[in-house]
Amino acid sequence: MSHITIYHNPNCGTSRNTLEMIRNSGIEPEIIHYLDTPPSKQILEKLIADMNISVRVLLRKNVEPYDKLGLGHIDATDEQLIDYMLQYPILINRPIVVTPLGTRLCRPSEVVLDILPKAQKGAFSKEDGQNVVDEKGNRLI
């Protein structure tokens, strides 16, 4: 069985949609509620490296600590930004999914389809009604 991990926020629609697409492939992932159990500095740095993105791409901008900390206006180093994310996990953008085929920030949620080792088992629509996969498991978007 393929091991998949999702860094998940159940209050986020994108995260919920991503989780359900993983389940629609017949896999129950390891779910890490990263707001309650933030990754270690070492794990966060590895996730960023594995996604091949900059630290700033992973930084959420539309949450309270971002403006309060002045993160949009300061020239913080990557290490400083990672320290802020560890201190305020809400600053970590989500969901992050780790599969044998890669690690991705799944925004939009259908990005997860690129790294799932198993095909979708049936139709899937996002919470907003947007069809993502048809009844034969074919990707629509």
Q: What is the pLDDT of residues 12-59, one digit of tens each?
A: 999 999 999 999 999 999 999 999 999 999 999 999 999 999 999 999
In this prediction, residue 72 carries a pLDDT of: 85
CATH fold group of domain 1-34+94-141 = Glutaredoxin (3.40.30)
Please state the domain extents for the chain: 1-34+94-141
Catalytic positions, written as ranges: 12
- By the 8 A CB rule, do 88 and 56 touch? no
- How far is Cα 17 from Cα 83, in angstroms, rounded to an integer? 29
The reported pTM is 0.94
